[in-house]
Structure 1
Amino acid sequence: MRTRSVLNTRLTPLAFALGLGLSLPSAAQDQISVYEFNLSTQPLSHTLTQVAKTASMNLIADANLLNGLQAPALQGEISLDQALELTLKNSNLTARIIDNNIIIKATVRAHSSSKTRARHTSFIPDGSNRVQEDIEVIEVKGDKLNMHREQIARTKGLSNSDIFSSFAGVEANNLRNEAGALDIGIRGVQGEGRVPIFIDGSLQSTHTNRGYMGSSDRTYIDSNLISKVNIEKGASAKASPFSSGAIGGMVSIRTLDTQDILKSGEQLGALVKINTHNNNHTPDVPESFGLQNYYEVSNDNDTLDFAGGGFTLATAYEQDKLKVVLAYSKKKVGNYFAGSKGFEEFVEEVDSMRFEAPKDAHGNSLDVPFSEYILTDYTFLILPPVNQNGEVVNTSFESDSYLAKLNYEFTDEQSLEVNTRFHKQEAGEMLASYWYKQRAGDTKFWKEADENGEDQWMSEEIPEGVETMPQWQPGSALVNSASALYRLMPSNNALVDLSVNVWRTSARLQQYNALGSNLGQNAGQYFHRVNNKRHGVSVLNASAFAVANKPVTLTYGLSWQSETLSPHKYWQDNFKRDWHSADFKLRSTSRNGEQTKRAIFANAQVDLAPVELALNLNHHDSVNQDFQDENTLKFAGKTDFTLQAKYHLLDNTAVKAKYSNAYRMPNLYETTVSNEVFSYSSDYPITPEKTKSYDIGIESEFTNLMQNGDKLVLSAEYFYTNIENMLATGFLPKPGQPAWDQKFTFTNYDKFELPGTELGIYYQSDLFYSKLSYTKYSNVEMCSSLMAQAADVETCNKTGFAGSLTPLRVPPEKSYIAIVGTKLFNDAIDTGFTYKKHTEKHHPGGFLSGTGVTALEYIPAGYQLDFYFDYTFSDDITGNIAITNLTDQYKVSTGSIVAMPEPGQTISIGLEFKL
């Protein structure tokens, strides 16, 4: 990473106190990491600020110590300790690294009779957490979360999305039926670009139709290739070229870099990661579409069968001007097995009445005419399709991922980074209307071709001891992305920090989620192939200057991006019928259209001691074309406005407030027609969403409470989100037609209000650390006069509307996350527990009735306890063991539409080493 000087600025105590990240201790690694600096002689406060930012660390100091001091020029690639030593030379200041903090203090000198004792500077790396008593550290985290490889590795799970499961307010809804992809929500806001995911600077999400479950905004990546994750909650207060529509937040992912792979001081090296887990079964799927409906599920989970797992090999080369990374990762997961405890919570008791023959004194039924039968009450049970410790069908997953990165510095002021990533996978998924079970005594029906090639219907009764569920062949995804970033950073011109970014993402998908294909019954009628391509370009510049001695950083630029959805070029082969005439106008099941989005943006960061302000403006528009319907929708430009203020209330306490007024344009999927379940309808025109949101937070940090060097961070935040004209699915009557004749389309809801509170406690000492978080939503309300009129219900409610998918977007009222761990033997052992819990959730009565989906109307409260044990054999070899769902709970994700349980107890074993 390269930096440049900021001229004519000054630093306040607040600027030093503000935290630059949230992570567990990484000081030892940061001290030996090599960073590139290009700083000219300037005020010492400016150089220290940029050194801390480059190392992603917090800077703590008394600004009075730095007044009037100059720092020497800092050039080239050097370690953090070398940078601090050179910067503080002859300043009579000391730098100490504790956890993720750089602490600047006046040099402590021993008493001496000599009045001519030389002044000196010392650098003291310290990972022992022994903080001096008069130093208090403050981190303003609130709506920003950072996760590095250490935390990613600690969060084990079968899905790539599991790495997000331990953060408050971050949801990965319905992740078990998302083909191993990422579809992240933040504080109840999810889908359709509301929370975009950027990988190495490029947007890489793809649209996926999910039938009666709507659509998913999927991002495909193997979590073993991830180095860092940054999450920002709510509309962004920083400049981002492609943040238009990101009303819920943003997720930025950086893939493996040379620092993740190379040994200390080496130029060439490799990283190897091997992991395996139990609790999975590779399904043997029949070729016949008919027999796929009757896959025999297994209820026998062999805990010693470690058939799933992954392998990663990454190589890196680094020299003065060149950095290269090449990586390959393989992951394979079979159908997992559900837990056992709590199964009874999903068994539904139904009270009913029936006619029964009268009984004698011994309870035997009498042989009497039906006219003498008696109407009696009785109760019967409805079991969920998946048994205790039963196989959960269509959850298998297999992927191969390739990564290549190159960074070249033409000069000290110019660099070029080029990335490309290829991901191919096969993953099980199915439509919600096929989530059911057949049991012994039921009859299965299927077609088979006879010796003459004619289809014949076959039938067979399911024998005792056998249970079947639909298990389809896996769908596939081929995703290829590439990006290039050019940077120009003159060391003698603080007005220029230029970045030009070009990227492209192409996805070819084969999935069973269409309607009307001619391949056969059951899954065969849903098969289709679709292409989703995105590409974009952005130009951004940052200028640093001072106005009335107030430091200002102004970032501004523009962006353009295009997205296309199109069917496979031979799509007609799968949908044309023999009875279609030659001039029959066949409509593709897949979308066929293009969306073009433009944006111009500006961001100002102003230090008005003791307040720091951030102002973000983003003006954007959209043009959406539907090639099938020959229709073009133009959405006029809207301007997003975000204002954020941070105030250092006390030495150890800071408060933050943010207000945003942002828009999301209807996306390509919402404005095009197809034979999929939901399509755009001109009978119900749509408009952009408008989101008003604000949050207010406070955070305090205390040190040396129970022992020397410990620290405690307390945080609280209130947030409020109101999405006006929220776009969502709906079952609406066709104009002029009977009420039962409905359109499945997209429409604007009046509003969706999501107020809530987040509380956090973080404690760390020499041996013990913990992180506790609590999220509570209060007075959640969704309103739609149009949906209410169609269903004859109240305009506003707390659960969403039965004739739509909005109930899935409403989060549970309360959720809890607790991480408790310890580090032993000089941090060689890192072990602990992660506890996650949510309260019950209700869906409206009659949810998705008439669609063939047995939708959940009630999701019980549930919890999961995970255990992890990481051991560092040496600086270059680590191993880990994890047990997820330690108590083997039978639970369902709060974003599920059907009773698809989460994985039961799963043991994972991993080994990582550098060569």
Structure 2
Amino acid sequence: MKHKHQGRLRTWRLKTMSLVVASVLYSGSLYAQDTSFAVSLPAQSLQSSVERIAEQGNVHIIYVSEVLQNKKAPALSGQYTVDQALQRLLQGTNLTVQKNGDVWSIVDRTTGDKQQSNATQSGQLDTVKLAPLTVYGQADNPEDQPYLTSGSTVYLSAEQIERHRGTSVGDFLSGIPGVINGDNRNSGSLDVNIRGMQGQGRVPVIVDGASQESSVYRGYNGTASRSYVDTDFISSVSIEKGASSGADATGASGGVVRMSTIGVNDIVLPGKSFGVRIKGGFNTNSSSVPVTGTWGGYNKGVNSRIYYDTSPALETLFSSDGMGRPALLEPTGGSGSIAVAGITEYVDVVAAYARRKNGNYHAGDKGGKEAAHIVSEPNTSSGVYISNGGLSPFRVGEEILNTSFDNESWLLKGTVRLNNDHSLELGWNRYQSEYGEILPTQITNVVAPYQGYLSTIDLNTYTVRYHWNPKNNELIDLRIDTFKSDVDLRVNATTRTYNPKRGIDRMNPSNVFIGSQRYGVTASNISRFLSEIGGFKLEYGGAWTKEDIGYPAGVDESDVTWATRQGTRKESSGFTSVEWKPINWLTLNGSLRYSNFETWDDTDSSRHSADGWSPIASITVEPLKGFQVYGKYGSVLRSPSIFETLKSESFAAGTQNFVEPERAKSTEVGFNYLHESLFLDGDKVRFHAAYFNNYIDDYISRLGASARVNLDYAKMRGFEVSAEYDTGKYFGNVAWNHYTNTKQS
């Protein structure tokens, strides 16, 4: 079966008589011929393994597609040269490896000998004329997969993450259509929004198979769902938009963000068994955190009134502090990390540490009239009314209070290869941060913004990941992920009582302290088989999570302003999905998931539960190689989160009614285009466009300050377009996202 990255046709003449082949060519500089590199391949089709070796070894490998078709390769793990790896993969077959200069070729012994014999008898000893050759580009490139998928997905490599890392963790999401990070300058966390869907499990962030989302009360403005990871520890990110049939996607009505932390291949150079990676950087445009209570921005309490004689002095309109923006190249923040990795025959180990620190940043000068500025308007009583004409209380270049962070992170991972069929990965990741935060109401309701107390997060995540893929067995590709996350979150969101006429200026603690433990298991298996009616891929499995929430260890409830929810939530699910390819240009996908949840509320011993089904279906048509048209529909059940279900003593019990699950119905149509060597030899063009329509029945929201309600519906519709062009040496991309309709009722 030929790969989808089809390129140009060529006719070759070769003097080597046994080399009668079609080709797969991999461009790029070649490593030394005898250089070994780390190989970790599952048991899979022989063509897939060969292509992977070509990619990792950065070499040219030539073969006839039909020769490798329907052949299986054993799992392969360890340090190998290209020649050693190919020899191991071809053991037990009638194929052999030949090398001519910098090119490896895989040929059939029987066919090759027959070709040579025929040529000898006919006297054609000089050359053999080959049929036209089909030339293909790199296979199994994860950056290509979003353009080969019936849906909207994004893949970010470590290089791309580094390119857009910025100063806040969510900056690497910049430029992805339909994806933003909420509260990006607040708390140093990830709260990903996909196509208008965000929070409470609608868009889970999965790191090495683990979820550690925490819901933080934000006063009258609702809640924030936060996940934490240091950017230097991210190896790759895969984002799936809309309904997902993945084993880890229970309740993911908006999409899923899956991250992998760094491994040995991110640190150890090819051919080596040990490596150290050191990264560091600095940034400007920030100031050290001022004393708690420091004022900033526009003082509306004093100045939003009528003046009859002269306008007030500037120092009474705005804070006298905060305008000391540092020089352009003056280091005021920075980050650094060190990672160490080692490879042995049976065990791989990674250890890493990262530190990231930044003060309150200063507002940019591109906001124009949106920044704070004075507006003078005539009043009917002949006076002048002074007010802030901007959307922000802060001026151009002013220090934005409560946006600092000081993070430390640790990572330890070990992978044990039990034999060629099994691997076991153990991981530990710790994240500690002290950061600035203030309730949104304090920005809008108090006379002026002010610096609050700093908040803290201490997170420990433990993971165990198992993979079993036996040799020569297409029916077993088993993955089991288990995790535990411990969260100690202490949000010191102060409020301020300020009445200068009465001499009152008091900082009031508004503490939200949360201690939670989340446990989870996800298991899935993939079986592949051929039949007279086409090829099938069947995936099935299930997931289970449990979350306990209460106060952090050692916290006295009398020190907490807003009583923490206390109780337990469990959710379990089972799913199956099938992919059927009856003919080369048509692919049909369908999946079905059953899920149920139950919560126990410790405050009043109440219970709540619900269950339901989530079907997803898609169809993909490929009329031309590299050009796909698809349609996808999903109906996903999202059960209420632990924050949406449990009660809190902070509010009247009558306002804390039970809510029913959401039902997100999503429709998407789009097309993908992937082509190599379109304008230049070896270049690559990628293009994706999609229209989406999200309609959510019983959308869970808040009514007033504390009541939970199911709205009749919420809907988000829009378009997305992304395009990339890459010559290998130069690259560029553009993206566009537009919402045509957003509404809730």
Per the shorter chain, which TM-score range?
Answer: 0.7 to 0.9
Q: State the 1:652 CA deviation.
A: 3.1
Question: Which AA in structure 1 matches 2:674?
Answer: E
Determine the structure 2 residue equivalent to 1:876: none
Counterpart of 2:668 (choices 695, 714, 721) is 695
- For residue 668 of structure 2, give the secondary structure of its aligned residue in structure 1: strand
Counterpart CA distance in 1 for 2:718 and 2:105 is: 35
Determine the structure 1 residue equivalent to 2:458: 478
- For residue 666 of structure 1, give the secondary structure of its aligned residue in structure 2: coil
Counterpart CA distance in 2 for 1:666 and 1:691 is: 13
Cα deviation digits, residues 14-40 of structure 1 (max 9, x gap): 6989xxxxxxx9997999752223548
Counterpart of 1:307 (choices 319, 332, 337) is 332
Q: State the 1:145 CA deviation.
A: 0.9
Q: State the 1:684 CA deviation.
A: 4.6
Q: Are the counterparts in 2 of residues 647 and 656 from structure 1 also a CA contact under 8 Å?
A: yes
Q: Alignment identity in percent?
A: 24
Question: Which AA in structure 2 matches 1:707?
Answer: L
Decide whether aligned partners of structure 1 residues 157 and 236 sit closer, same or farther in structure 2, where only a CA change above 3 A counts. Answer: same
Question: Which AA in structure 2 matches 1:629?
Answer: D
Determine the structure 2 residue equivalent to 1:531: 515
Determine the structure 2 residue equivalent to 1:645: 619
Counterpart CA distance in 2 for 1:298 and 1:625 is: 48
Counterpart of 1:355 (choices 344, 356, 381) is 381
Q: State the 1:137 CA deviation.
A: 12
Determine the structure 1 residue equivalent to 2:185: 176
Determine the structure 2 residue equivalent to 1:619: 594
Counterpart of 1:671 (choices 625, 641, 645) is 645
Counterpart CA distance in 2 for 1:629 and 1:297 is: 49
Decide whether aligned partners of structure 1 residues 712 and 353 sit closer, same or farther in structure 2, where only a CA change above 3 A counts. Answer: same
Decide whether aligned partners of structure 1 residues 704 and 660 sit closer, same or farther in structure 2, where only a CA change above 3 A counts. Answer: same
Decide whether aligned partners of structure 1 residues 130 and 540 sit closer, same or farther in structure 2, where only a CA change above 3 A counts. Answer: closer
Q: Are the counterparts in 2 of residues 589 and 674 from structure 1 also a CA contact under 8 Å?
A: yes
Determine the structure 1 residue equivalent to 2:304: none
Counterpart CA distance in 1 for 2:384 and 2:620 is: 65
Counterpart of 1:338 (choices 363, 367, 370) is 363
Counterpart of 1:542 (choices 522, 526, 537) is 526
Written as runs of structure 1 = structure 2, the 5 A alignment for 1:814-833 is none
Cα deviation digits, residues 391-442 of structure 1 (max 9, x gap): 0000010011000101112222222110011111100000012216999xxx
2:157 counterpart of 1:148: yes
Q: State the 1:591 CA deviation.
A: 1.0
Cα deviation digits, residues 531-579 of structure 1 (max 9, x gap): 0210112333222333435322222222221112202466555359xxx
Decide whether aligned partners of structure 1 residues 574 and 209 sit closer, same or farther in structure 2, where only a CA change above 3 A counts. Answer: same
TM, length-normalised to structure 2: 0.80
Counterpart CA distance in 1 for 2:252 and 2:684 is: 35
2:431 counterpart of 1:423: yes
Written as runs of structure 1 = structure 2, the 5 A alignment for 1:758-837 is 758-765=720-727, 767-783=729-745
Question: Which AA in structure 2 matches 1:526?
Answer: S
Decide whether aligned partners of structure 1 residues 95 and 534 sit closer, same or farther in structure 2, where only a CA change above 3 A counts. Answer: farther
- For residue 185 of structure 2, give the secondary structure of its aligned residue in structure 1: helix
Counterpart of 1:34 (choices 28, 32, 38) is 38
Q: State the 1:85 CA deviation.
A: 7.8
Cα deviation digits, residues 742-797 of structure 1 (max 9, x gap): x52221111111111112222223553211111111132222xxxxxxxxxxxxxx
Counterpart CA distance in 2 for 1:668 and 1:211 is: 17
Counterpart CA distance in 2 for 1:545 and 1:680 is: 56
Q: State the 1:687 CA deviation.
A: 0.8
Determine the structure 1 residue equivalent to 2:20: none
Question: Which AA in structure 2 matches 1:115?
Answer: Q
Q: Are the counterparts in 2 of residues 221 and 423 from structure 1 also a CA contact under 8 Å?
A: yes
Counterpart CA distance in 2 for 1:153 and 1:696 is: 32
Q: State the 1:189 CA deviation.
A: 0.9
Question: Which AA in structure 2 matches 1:546?
Answer: L
Aligned-residue CA RMSD in angstroms? 4.4
Decide whether aligned partners of structure 1 residues 730 and 682 sit closer, same or farther in structure 2, where only a CA change above 3 A counts. Answer: closer
Length, aligned pairs only: 672
Q: Are the counterparts in 1 of residues 288 and 359 from structure 2 also a CA contact under 8 Å?
A: yes
Counterpart CA distance in 2 for 1:538 and 1:766 is: 38
Q: State the 1:197 CA deviation.
A: 0.6
Counterpart CA distance in 2 for 1:198 and 1:570 is: 29
Counterpart CA distance in 2 for 1:380 and 1:621 is: 53
Q: State the 1:604 CA deviation.
A: 1.7
Residue range with higher mean Cα deviation, 29-38 or 648-657? 29-38
Written as runs of structure 1 = structure 2, the 5 A alignment for 1:531-610 is 531-548=515-532, 550-568=534-552, 571-572=555-556, 574-575=558-559, 589-609=563-583, 610=585
Q: Which runs of 5+ in 2 are unaligned?
A: 8-26, 300-317, 498-503
Cα deviation digits, residues 358-377 of structure 1 (max 9, x gap): xxxxxxxxxxxxxxxxxx78
2:266 counterpart of 1:260: yes
Q: Are the counterparts in 1 of residues 239 and 258 from structure 2 also a CA contact under 8 Å?
A: yes
2:691 counterpart of 1:718: yes
Counterpart CA distance in 2 for 1:150 and 1:266 is: 21
Q: Are the counterparts in 2 of residues 680 and 745 from structure 1 also a CA contact under 8 Å?
A: no
Q: Are the counterparts in 2 of residues 760 and 773 from structure 1 also a CA contact under 8 Å?
A: yes
Decide whether aligned partners of structure 1 residues 62 and 617 sit closer, same or farther in structure 2, where only a CA change above 3 A counts. Answer: farther
Question: Which AA in structure 2 matches 1:49?
Answer: S
Q: Are the counterparts in 1 of residues 483 and 519 from structure 2 also a CA contact under 8 Å?
A: yes
Q: State the 1:700 CA deviation.
A: 2.4
Decide whether aligned partners of structure 1 residues 313 and 711 sit closer, same or farther in structure 2, where only a CA change above 3 A counts. Answer: closer
Counterpart CA distance in 1 for 2:361 and 2:344 is: 45
TM, length-normalised to structure 1: 0.66
Counterpart CA distance in 2 for 1:55 and 1:688 is: 48
Determine the structure 1 residue equivalent to 2:413: 405
Determine the structure 1 residue equivalent to 2:490: 510
- For residue 695 of structure 1, give the secondary structure of its aligned residue in structure 2: strand
Q: Are the counterparts in 2 of residues 560 and 596 from structure 1 also a CA contact under 8 Å?
A: yes
Question: Which AA in structure 2 matches 1:616?
Answer: S
Cα deviation digits, residues 97-119 of structure 1 (max 9, x gap): xxxxx999999x9x999535799
Residue range with higher mean Cα deviation, 193-202 or 564-573? 564-573
Counterpart CA distance in 2 for 1:684 and 1:337 is: 42
Q: State the 1:603 CA deviation.
A: 1.9
Question: Which AA in structure 1 matches 2:682?
Answer: G
Decide whether aligned partners of structure 1 residues 724 and 709 sit closer, same or farther in structure 2, where only a CA change above 3 A counts. Answer: same
Q: Are the counterparts in 2 of residues 418 and 485 from structure 1 also a CA contact under 8 Å?
A: yes
Q: Are the counterparts in 1 of residues 279 and 336 from structure 2 also a CA contact under 8 Å?
A: yes
Q: State the 1:162 CA deviation.
A: 0.4
Question: Which AA in structure 1 matches 2:707?
Answer: T
Determine the structure 1 residue equivalent to 2:346: 321
Decide whether aligned partners of structure 1 residues 254 and 61 sit closer, same or farther in structure 2, where only a CA change above 3 A counts. Answer: same
Q: State the 1:670 CA deviation.
A: 0.7
Question: Which AA in structure 1 matches 2:238?
Answer: N
Residue range with higher mean Cα deviation, 477-486 or 297-306? 297-306
Q: Are the counterparts in 2 of residues 485 and 502 from structure 1 also a CA contact under 8 Å?
A: yes
Decide whether aligned partners of structure 1 residues 768 and 680 sit closer, same or farther in structure 2, where only a CA change above 3 A counts. Answer: farther
Q: Are the counterparts in 2 of residues 665 and 689 from structure 1 also a CA contact under 8 Å?
A: yes
Counterpart CA distance in 2 for 1:419 and 1:342 is: 43
Counterpart CA distance in 2 for 1:778 and 1:26 is: 43
Q: State the 1:215 CA deviation.
A: 0.9
Determine the structure 2 residue equivalent to 1:164: 173
Counterpart CA distance in 2 for 1:753 and 1:247 is: 12
Counterpart CA distance in 1 for 2:190 and 2:99 is: 41
Q: Are the counterparts in 1 of residues 6 and 676 from structure 2 also a CA contact under 8 Å?
A: no
